[in-house]
Amino acid sequence: MLAVAMAAVAGVRAQIGYKGQLLLEAGAGLTHVEGVAGTVRLGGFLSEHSLLGVGVMYDRTTYDATQDDSFATSQWFGELHYRYALPLNRFILMPGGGLLFGAERCDALSKQGNLLPYGNQFVYGVSAGVSAEYILGRHWALAVEPRLCYLIRTHFDNLKLSANVGIKYYF
């Protein structure tokens, strides 16, 4: 029985993280300013440990203003990211970072009808995070990913912490 369990674990590790393998992932989560965040990414393993990929990130946040007023913003980013995979039996840790390029949109009027000074604009920045995955089977994994983004150009928070939970498919 122990030999069968060891062979199953070795088989799972052998399926994830080989050169040329592709990864598709989707996740959703929250930001530290009570916003919602989501990602969709596609990546390819350059070696057993190196992953290079592209993705799309979305962030929607409602900011509170004075006297019960508020306004909504949204940000869309294209992302180029690199991650280093550290397999630990059924778990994989993937620290990494990336470059962000996208757009930021803000409501023209607040909830109470006040004119806002923020316009739509091009935004860019960098991100760093660690994905912790639990391997479900030959192709599937569940992931939790806290991420810190530093936006160099934005009207709002330069530093944004988010945490996503998602699923990954290795093919």
CA distances from 14 to 80, 86, 95, 137, 153 (A): 26, 13, 20, 11, 42
Q: Could you read off the pLDDT of 75-91 as tens digits, one per residue? A: 999 999 999 999 998 99
Looking at the DSSP bridge assignments, the partners of residue 24 are 42, 169
pLDDT for the residue 65 = 78
Burial class (CB within 10 angstroms; exposed 0-12, middle 13-18, buried 19+) of 152: exposed
Helix (H, G, I), strand (E, B) or coil at 3: helix
User: Alpha-carbon distance 135 to 93, whole Å?
Assistant: 11
Looking at the DSSP bridge assignments, the partners of residue 50 are 84
Question: For the chain, which ranges sit under pLDDT 50?
Answer: 1-14
**What residues have CB less than 8 Å from 159, skipping those under 6 apart?**
148, 149, 150, 151
Model confidence, pTM = 0.82
Helix (H, G, I), strand (E, B) or coil at 10: helix
What percentage of the chain reaches a pLDDT higher than 90? 71
pLDDT for the residue 16 = 67
Do the beta carbons of residue 144 and residue 132 sit within 8 Å?
yes
Do the beta carbons of residue 27 and residue 39 sit within 8 Å?
yes
Task: Tell me 90's DSSP state.
Answer: T
